[in-house]
Amino acid sequence: FGSSLCSLRCFGCVGKFGNSAHLAMSDLEKPLVEHRGTLTRADTEERRENKMKVVIETTKLEESKINELRAQRENAGFDDGETFAVAFSGGGIRAAAFQCGVLWKLAEMGKLKDVTYLSAVSGGGYIAMGFAAHCLAAYREKKPARHEVDDWYKDVVAKTVVRMQNNAGDFVRDFVRSGPGKPSDGSGCTSLPRVLDAPILFFTLILTLMVNPIFIFLCFMLPTALVTNAWFGDEMRSLFCDIHGPEKLSTFKFGTFSIGCVSSAAFTFLIWVLMHIAPFKDPHTGAKINDRVHPRKWFLIAHGLYAFFVRFSAVCWTLLAFLHATLVVQVLLFTQQRDDSRFYQKYCNAGVQGHCLEDGGCLPSLESHILLIVGLLFLASVVIMPWSGNSVTVFLACVFGPLLIFIFEMRLTQFVVFGPITGQDFFTGFGYNSNWYYIIGSVLFLNLLILPFYPEIRAILHTYYMRCLAGNFFPDGKDGNIVDLLECPYIPLILVTATSSDFRSPIGGDRDNLSEVSMTPLHVGSIETGFVPMHPERTMGKCTALTAAGCVDACALTLSSLLTMRFWLEILNLSWGDYVSFTSDERKTRGCCDFAGEWDSRFIQRMPADFSVWICFVLVFAGFVMDNLMCLKIAIGLFCFIMTLSFLCFKPLEKIFAVSPFIRQIHQGSMFCFRGETPPPMLYMTDGGCRDCTTINQLLMRRQPRILLVLAASDPHDELGVLRTAITMAKDGGDATF
């Protein structure tokens, strides 16, 4: 089995962990054996049972289904061995390779038929779901007779292991093994030869990195410049042309926008004060540990409004500072002297388009140099960070990244506002000319065409990852619905975990926003979120990709509370996780077409919210084409109204706005967390190993008396860190004593 397997052996409930320790399930009938502060053991168990009520019914249904499947076996009635659960830890393909050997040994010993649960996380999910998929395919092909069960398991495990050996590498496989031709086993993300795996991966990464910058430019940066031109352009150009412009900069105000900034800050402060007064007060304040709180509607209203106005106020003040900086740079650092009469003749006649001076350019060379220097520093910090990893490079990247965007937007706004009278360049060789109108109009129209498909475009990397896993580790490279695993009575109940980070638990004492979500063919959920039925069209590949989604999103959303990490996530778009439907009526949710997976049903669900957002950008397009400021103002007002509603955690509103990945991306980037007794109808899920990288807590929570943990330790010197963390979680949760 290997040394890592011995880190926790629950046959006989004996474990080795540093000093000798004993693993046993918490026994409610035991007398008082310990005190935790002022709480007795009985108090602790009572609190725990209150918290666990949400799990009890789900666990009973799982146990009932396990017993039902075991009774369906054609060889039912023969003397099964003592049942136990198996837990596969995380660790990528390295963990999956180690766990292949354990799976084969269990089959060789004739023990697989006695496994009730097969839980897995991250890399362990590769082999667990691959084994389940091979079991289902073999069962559909031929049901084993009573005397064939052990051989049937060995045959299935052998096929699972061989397929993993042939396709190990996730994205880039060994192309020497199959030669230059197309793979005959259906493996890989596409049917192209293995030698193209590396170019396909490179192309996918480049496309992924381009998605969010393009959408941020189309949806936010360009409209901001256009609205600035339509709303304040005349005033800014007048100040630029005024001979006393530099002296008037300190007293220049942006009219009603400045008043709006002050009003938003005042309203934010007022809501903050209200949130410290009942009935707007946070129900978590003063709540007992493990007691389930019930947030009032007044609190949810205040929480949503406060979340919106904090972000709205921050955006307003940032824009105000940005507008002043843009105007100051244009007025003070323009290359031509203002006391020259040719300046006014050349640049301030609105009916004549100006041209840049050949000896200096319209914008100061200093601004171009700063943009270049900041860009180079940002690029250098990104390149060096993976090798150095020190705080200096991280700090430089976090500072110069937003600064680069700020300067880029400044240059764009100067080009849009002052370009008609100066003809200044946006980029070298791209000056203001008559084609500008048609180029921007075409870009805005293109945005209208692709915006409805933003969720699919954003999830390119996740989809690619999911297809690679299904193609490499599933029989014949074919994916299938996870609920179909219930067809085969010889498959243990598969359980994989993921991590949700956008819902605050209603349990007292739980101060973080993380929920370890378990996914089985029956249910999806956790103690914090509750449980809902598994979506009938959710695939095994989808669940495998979610539990092993250890990319930038896993770090930014679960391991860090820094806003700068969210900046990196939104810009780079390196997300292996995805938004997952989480409603209690999943089995009633159907799509409009017969597509594999959940795409069509999700498209129908998000259509109302996405259409509302789409109308905003239609108004932006119309405002630009017709040069109508009122259209732009209506677009801004409608978008703010939609975002306000999206922050309110009420069921009618959640069902409309919380299922739009475009809106939820804004929530995620600004670190918004839903509150309420139940989570929103869509959760973002990523790698399940962010909390418990062993999954033993899921099995302890289900009261499994015997657990075999297959722990793939990261290196010989890690001192079983993930196991120590899992044990601490179990002890703190009252699930077990050690």
- The DSSP bridge pattern shows strands 24-25 and 736-737 to be antiparallel
Query: Alpha-carbon distance 697 to 735, whole Å?
Result: 8
CA atoms within 13 A on the CB side of 286: 7
If one compares 730 and 522, the residue with the highest pLDDT of the two is 522
Q: Which amino acid is at 9?
A: R
Beta partners for 686? Answer: 499
**Sequence-separated (6 or more) residues with CB below 8 Å from residue 228:** 323, 326, 413, 416, 417
**Nearest Cα to 595, choosing from 585, 584, 603?**
603
On whether the CB atoms of residues 580 and 683 are closer than 8 A, the answer is yes
Residues 599-619: tens digit of each pLDDT: 778 888 889 999 999 999 999
- The stretches of 6-122 forming alpha helices (DSSP H) are 41-72, 92-108
Sorting pLDDT into bands at 50, 70 and 90, what band is 656? confident
User: Mean pLDDT: which of 161-175, 194-208, 378-392 is highest?
Assistant: 194-208
- In angstroms, what is the C-alpha Rg of the chain? 30
Predicted confidence at residue 9, as pLDDT, reads 40
Q: What are phi and psi of 706, to 5 degrees?
A: -130, 120
Which tens digits make up the pLDDT trace of 187-232?
878 888 888 888 998 999 899 889 988 999 999 999 999 999 999 8
Task: Tell which wins on pLDDT, 390 or 711.
Answer: 711
pLDDT for 261-274, tens place per residue?
999 999 999 999 99
Amino acid 22: pLDDT: 30
Separation of alpha carbons 202 and 198, rounded Å: 6
Q: Is-above-0.95 flag for pTM?
A: no
CA distance 712 to 704: 21
Inform me whether the pLDDT recorded for 324 exceeds 60. yes
Which of these ranges, 304-313, 547-556, 629-638, 644-653, has the smallest mean pLDDT? 547-556
CA 458, CA 468: separation in Å to the nearest integer? 17
Lowest mean pLDDT among 353-357, 526-530, 626-630: 353-357
At 223, is the secondary structure helix, strand, or coil? helix
Q: Is 555 helix (H, G, I), strand (E, B) or coil?
A: helix
pLDDT score at 389: 53
Q: How confident is the model at residue 552 (pLDDT cuts 50, 70, 90)?
A: low
* Number of Cβ atoms within 10 Å of the Cβ of 46: 14
Q: How many CB atoms lie within 10 A of CB 731?
A: 13
Q: Output the pLDDT for position 365.
A: 44
Mean pLDDT to the nearest integer, 461-485: 91
Over the range 290-309, which residues count as b (16 or more CB within 10 Å of their CB) and which as e?
bebbebeeebbbbbbbbbbb
The rounded distance, in Å, linking the Cα atoms of 200 and 635 is 39
Strand locations in 558-706, DSSP E? 578-581, 682-687
The verdict on whether omega for the bond into residue 364 sits within 30 degrees of 0, i.e. cis, is no
Mean pLDDT, the chain, integer: 80
Give the C-alpha separation, 287 to 508, whole Å. Answer: 5
Block residue for tokens 């956008």: 502
In angstroms, rounded to a whole number, what is the distance separating the alpha carbons of residues 686 and 693? 13
Amino acid residing at 61: L
| φ, ψ of residue 284 in degrees (nearest 5) | -70, -25
Average pLDDT value for residue range 485-489: 93
Overall average pLDDT of the 452-465 stretch: 91
At residue 32, the pLDDT reads 31
Check residue 88 and report its DSSP letter. Answer: E
The CA distance from 555 to 515, in Å, is 15
Give the integer Cα–Cα distance in Å for 590 and 335: 63
Q: What pLDDT band is residue 18 in, cutting at 50, 70 and 90? A: very low
Q: Hey, how many other C-beta atoms are within 10 angstroms of the C-beta on 343?
A: 16
Q: Is the pLDDT of residue 733 over 90?
A: no
Percent of the chain at pLDDT above 90?
33
Q: Is the pLDDT of residue 643 over 60?
A: yes
**Locus of tokens 């109204």:** 641
Tokens, residue 550: 């250890």
Are the C-beta atoms of 638 and 620 separated by less than 8 Å? no
**What is the helix (H) or strand (E) element at residue 21, kind and residue range?**
strand 19-22
Of 406, 408, 432, 429, nearest in space to 419 by CA: 432
Smallest CA-to-CA distance from 580 within 481, 685, 687 is with 685
The pLDDT score that the predictor gives to residue 79 is 56
pLDDT band at 554 (very low <50, low <70, confident <90, very high): low
Q: What is the pLDDT of residue 715?
A: 65
Residue 264 CA to residue 262 CA, distance in Å, equals: 6
Q: Chain centroid to CA 382: how far?
A: 21
Task: Report pLDDT for 620.
Answer: 95
Q: For 75-111, what is each residue's pLDDT tens digit?
A: 665 556 789 999 999 888 888 999 999 999 999 998 9
- CA 72 → CA 119, 257, 490, 491, distances in Å? 22, 70, 9, 12
Residue, of 365 and 477, whose pLDDT is higher: 477
Query: Angle at CA 368, nearest 5°, toward 363 and 369?
Result: 135
Condensed to tens digits (0 to 9), the pLDDT of residues 253-262 reads 787 888 889 9
Which residue has tokens 């690029």?
379
